[in-house]
Chain A
Amino acid sequence: MRLATAALSLAAAVSAQVPYERILEARKEPHNWLTYSGTYDGQRYSSLNQIHAGNVKKLGVAWVQQSGATEPTQTSPIVVDGTMYITEPPNVVKALDALTGTVIWTYKKTIPDDLRLCCSRVNRGVAVLDDMVYYTSIDAHMIALDAKTGRVRWDVSFGDHKLGYSSTNAPLAIKGKVITGVGGGEYGIRGFVDAYDAKTGKRLWRTHTVPARGEPGVETWAGKSYESGSGSTWVTGSYDPVNNLVIWGVGNPGPDWNGDVRKGDNLYTDSFIALDGGTGEMKWFYQFTPHDTHDWDATQVPVLIDGTFRGQPRKMVATANRNAFYYVLDRATGKYLHAKPYVKQTWARGIDDNGRPMMLPGTDPTVEGNLLYPSLAGGTNWFSPSWSPKHNLFYVPVREEGAYYYKGEAEFKPGALFNGGGQRSNPAEEPYGAIRALETDSGNLKWEFRMKTQASAGILSTAGDIVFSGTGQGDVIALHAATGELLWKFKGGGGVIAAPVTYLVGGKQYISLAVGRALFAFTLVE
C-alpha cells in the first residue's frame, strides 16, 4: 500500500501531461477526472466503486478549500494524476494537491469593473490538454495557463465585455483545440461557439448561433431582429469523437420575454447544435422551443448515450430541457425520437411527430402577468445531469414551480439589459425540488428524491450504485442509484450550486463538490 502511494505521487510529479488520447479514453482511467463531465459523452458517470452503497455511510470530510469570494463556487474540478484544477469566483484558478487540498499555485485574472452581467461573476471550471490548463474569464477571455506553474501562456479576448459578452463555462478541449461558448443572452449579443488552437490561441473557427443577413435561418427572424438575437452558449457541450461532432446547447433569443419584436422561430436559439470539430460547420440542429418567450435556454449538457431505443441499439443524445420536456434525439442526425414532460408544464399539448411543440394558446407573457409552468429557471437549468450505463437511468435535478411571466418594453441598446419583461413567483404555492431518475428511452419516472427547495446542483452517478448531489440548503446527499433511497447526508452549510466529481489518489476514492463558497473533498473515514 505504501509503495503504491509512493509510486502514485512520483507519477504526479513527472507526468502531468494530458494528450488528447487520454481524454478520449478517460473511461479507462477513472482515478482521474479529465474533462468537465468526466468523459466527452457528458455522462458524469464514474466506474469507481470503492465508495459504494454499502459503505457510503462512512464518508467524511478529507479537506475543504474556501474561496474568498462573495459569489458561490460553481466549479467542477478537473483531476490529473493527483493534482486538482479548480476555478473560484470572480477571477481565480487554483491547482491543488488532490490528496490534501494544499494549494500548489493560484492564478488571478485582472478583470474590469464595468462588466455587463445578467447574474453574477461565477465560473464552472477549467479544461486540460497536454501541459496546459484553459480558463475562460468573466470578461470573455480564453487564457492558457502552464499546468505546473499557473503562468500565462496565452490570453485572447473573444468578446467585448462592455457589450455584454462574458463567459462562465468550462472550456472543452479536443484534439489540438479548445472550445468555448459565450454568455450575454440578456444583452442582445450575437452568440457563437469558438475553437482556438490549443498551442497558440489562434482562433480556428467561430460558428454563430444567430444567422446574419443572407444566411440560412435568417428568415426565422422578423425584420432586423436577428441583429440583437442573443443565442448565448454558456454551458459546456459534449463531444462525439466517432462523428467528430461538438454538440452544444444554445440559449434564449433576445429579448427574453417580449416576442413581438422578433416574430418567427428565431433559429438557432434554444437548440442543440452539432458542429464539425474540424471546421465548425453546423451538421445538424434541433430546436426545443421555437420562438421562446420564457427564457428557456437549451444550455444543458448534452448526454451522449450508446443504448437501446424501443428495443433497437441506437446512438442517442438525451437531455432534460429547461422547457420541462425530456428528449431523445438521434446523435448522427439530430432527428427527434421522443419527448416526455419530467416536471409540471402548462405551455404545450405535447411534442408532435416532427419534434415540434404543440403550443397551447395564451401562454405568452403579458403586461399584467401570466401564470405558466415551468418558471423562468425551468424544469431544470444548467446543472449537470448524469446517466448510468449500469442502471440505464437518466438522473436529473428538477424544479417544480410556476411563475407569473411579464411582458415589458424591449428597446435594444448595445451594452444595456435587453429583457423585455420578467417573472415573479406564485405566492399561492411552495415550490420544491427533486432528484429524478428517468428511464432512458421513455423518460418514464423510475424514482424521485424530494427536496424542500428547487434543485440547483449537478449529479454524479457511480458504479458503486450511488447518485451524489446536493440541496439548495447546503446538504450533500448520496442516494441509491436504483431506488433513490437516501444513504448518506452531510450538512455543508451553503446552497449547492455545483456538480460533484470523483477521483482516486493514494489508493482512496474521493468525492469532491462545492458547497456554498467552499470546495469539499470527502473520503471513507475509519
Chain B
Amino acid sequence: MAVHGQDEKKKEEVVLPTASEDLERGKKLYDGSCQLCHGPLGDGGKGANLAQAKLPRAQTDGDLARVIEIGIPGTEMPGAWHMTRREVTQVAAYVRTFGKTTREAAPGDAGRGRSLYFGKGGCQGCHTTKNPEGVLAGGLMGPDLSVIGSRRSVAHLREALVDPGASLPDYFMDTTVSMKSGGKINGRRLNEETFTIVVQDYGGKVHVIDKTNVAEVVKDRKKSPMPSYGGKLSASEIDDVVSFLVSLQEAR
C-alpha cells in the first residue's frame, strides 16, 4: 500500500510516548499485530527477538518506528500500514520495554557448541553460517543461521532444536505430491501456480510438476525435515549448541 508522494520517510527525530495509557494501547496493538511472530513477551519466535537492549535493525527510536511502519523489505516483516503514526510510536514504546527486561543468558559453552554444530550435529548439512573468511557455507535446505543470535531468543533456539516443527517460517511447507502414474515426491514447495507445482525434494533435486499428472497434493505446515535433537544430544550439549547459536551476532 505505497502512498505515492508520501512514501519517502525522511530520517526524523522520534520521541516515544511514556504515559501509561500509551504503553497500554501499545501493548494492545502489539498483541493484535506483532505477538504472533515476535511472541507475547517479545522474545521472538518466527519473528526477531525484541527483548534486547539494542535491536540491530532499529538502533534509534526513529528507526524502530520506521521498521514498524514500513516493515523490512525482503523479509517476512510487513509494514503496519493500518496504524496511525501515534499508534506506531505507542507500539515502539511498548517494544522498548522488552529490552529493559533481563535476558535469559545462554547457559552453555559456545566453543563446545561450535564443535557439536560442525561435528556430531551435522547442522551445516542443511544450514549456512559464515566461515572465518566471512563467506556463507553449508546447506541450503534450512534457514541461514549466520546472525541467528541477533534474531532469536535462547528459549526459541532451544525449542527449534528439540521440536523443529513448532515454528516454521511462512515460506516453508512440507509437500508430498502423489503422481497419477504412481510414485511420490516429498520435499519443500518452492512455488505453486494454477497449473504447476515446484517441489525441491529433501535430496536437493527440484521438480517442476504439471498438475494434470498429479493425483494428490498433501501439504503440512507443521512438519520439518529437521530431526529433533532432543534424543540425539544431551541436555548440556543442547545448551552448548544454543550458546554457539547465540554467539552468531549481526555485525554492529
A→B interface (CB under 8 Å)? 112-121, 257, 366-369, 404, 406, 408-409, 411, 417, 419, 421-424, 427, 430, 450-453, 471, 473, 475, 489
Contacts and interface: CB of A to CB of B under 8 A. Distances in A.
Contacts of A408: 29, 82-84, 87
Contacts of B6: 116
A367 B3 contact: no
A406 B2 contact: no
A113 B194 contact: no
Nearest to B28: A367
Given A118-B1, A120-B4, A471-B194, A406 B170 contact: no
Contact of A452 (B81, B194, B219): B194
A475 B194 contact: yes
A475 B2 contact: no
A116 B170 contact: no
Interface in B59-103: 78, 80-84, 86-87
Contacts of B2: 120
Contact of A422 (B3, B36, B81, B192): B81
A119 B3 CA distance: 7
A411 B84 contact: yes
A24 to B, nearest CB: 38
A368 B4 contact: no
27 contacts: A113-B4, A116-B3, A116-B5, A117-B3, A117-B4, A119-B1, A120-B2, A120-B4, A366-B32, A367-B32, A404-B32, A406-B32, A406-B33, A406-B82, A408-B83, A409-B83, A409-B87, A417-B3, A422-B81, A422-B83, A424-B78, A427-B170, A450-B194, A452-B192, A452-B193, A452-B194, A475-B195
Interface in B1-18: 1-6
A415 to B, nearest CB: 10
Contacts of A424: 33, 78
Contacts of B36: 427
B31 interface: yes
A119 B81 CA distance: 12
A117 B193 CA distance: 30
Contacts of A368: 28, 31-32
Contacts, number: 70
Nearest to B7: A117
Nearest to B212: A486
A284 to B, nearest CB: 34
B83 A114 contact: no
A293 to B, nearest CB: 13
A369 B3 contact: no
A118 B81 CA distance: 10
Contacts of B194: 450-453, 471, 473, 475
A419 B82 contact: yes
Contacts of B193: 452, 471, 473, 475
In terms of DSSP, what is the predominant structure of the interface of chain B?
loop
Q: Which 10 A-B pairs have the closest CB atoms?
A: A422-B82, A368-B32, A369-B32, A114-B5, A473-B193, A452-B194, A451-B194, A409-B84, A367-B28, A115-B5
Contacts of A257: 82
A121 B82 contact: no
A423 B170 contact: no
A121 B2 CA distance: 10
B195 A113 contact: no
A16 B83 CA distance: 51
A115 B7 CA distance: 11
Nearest to A256: B82
A168 to B, nearest CB: 13
Nearest to B86: A409
A450 B192 CA distance: 13
Nearest to B25: A367
A424 B195 CA distance: 27
A507 to B, nearest CB: 32
Nearest to A486: B195
Contacts of A367: 28-29, 32
A421 B6 CA distance: 18
Given A369-B33, A423-B82, A471-B193, 10 more contacts: A113-B5, A115-B4, A119-B1, A367-B29, A368-B32, A369-B32, A419-B82, A450-B194, A452-B194, A475-B194
Contacts of B87: 408-409
Contacts of B219: 430
Contacts of B81: 419, 422
Contacts of B32: 366-369, 404, 406
Contacts of B78: 424
B105 to A, nearest CB: 32
Contacts of A421: 82
A478 B82 CA distance: 38
Nearest to B81: A422
A427 B35 CA distance: 13
Contacts of B84: 408-409, 411
B133 to A, nearest CB: 38
Contacts of B192: 452
A424 B34 CA distance: 11
Contacts of A116: 3, 5-6
B242 to A, nearest CB: 26
Contacts of B1: 118-119
Interface in B194-246: 194-195, 219
Contacts of B29: 367, 408
Q: Which of A119, A257, A408, A453 has the most chain B CB atoms closer than 10 A to its own CB?
A: A408
B40 to A, nearest CB: 12
Contacts of A114: 5
A398 to B, nearest CB: 14
